[in-house]
Amino acid sequence: MNISIQKLLGKIEHELQAAKSISSASLVREKIYAIKTMCDLILEESQTDLTAQVESSKFVSASTSGTLHVQPPRRMEMEDDANGESIFDF
């Protein structure tokens, strides 16, 4: 779900105004907790966007770095007394 930061900031302002007009300490704490939650959402979204940008730039740089030379697998050299390719040959 993608919520715009401007919409969240508007809700934060609304909750802050409501918290300023409440005299009950427990209700003020509830409003402040709601504000904290919305701030965490904004920070989390910003971090997710930053991570996605970094990952996409890594992908682009890896794909444009040129050709990748892969060496074919080599057979493991055995001692002279081995009977064959099986690991069960003694």
The pair of three-digit structure tokens given for residue 31, joined into one six-digit string: 């409003």
Which range of residues forms the domain containing residue 29? 5-55
Does some domain include residue 9? yes
pLDDT of residue 3: 76
Does some domain include residue 79? no
- What's this model's pTM, rounded to 2 decimal places? 0.51
Cβ–Cβ under 8 Å, residues 32 and 18: no
Does some domain include residue 38? yes
CA distance 43 to 34: 14
Does some domain include residue 74? no
Please tell me the total count of domains within the chain: 1
Does some domain include residue 19? yes
Does some domain include residue 50? yes
pLDDT of residue 69: 66
Does some domain include residue 85? no
Tell me which DSSP letter residue 84 carries: S
20-76 confidence digits (pLDDT tens)? 999 999 999 999 999 999 999 989 887 776 555 555 556 555 555 556 667 777 776
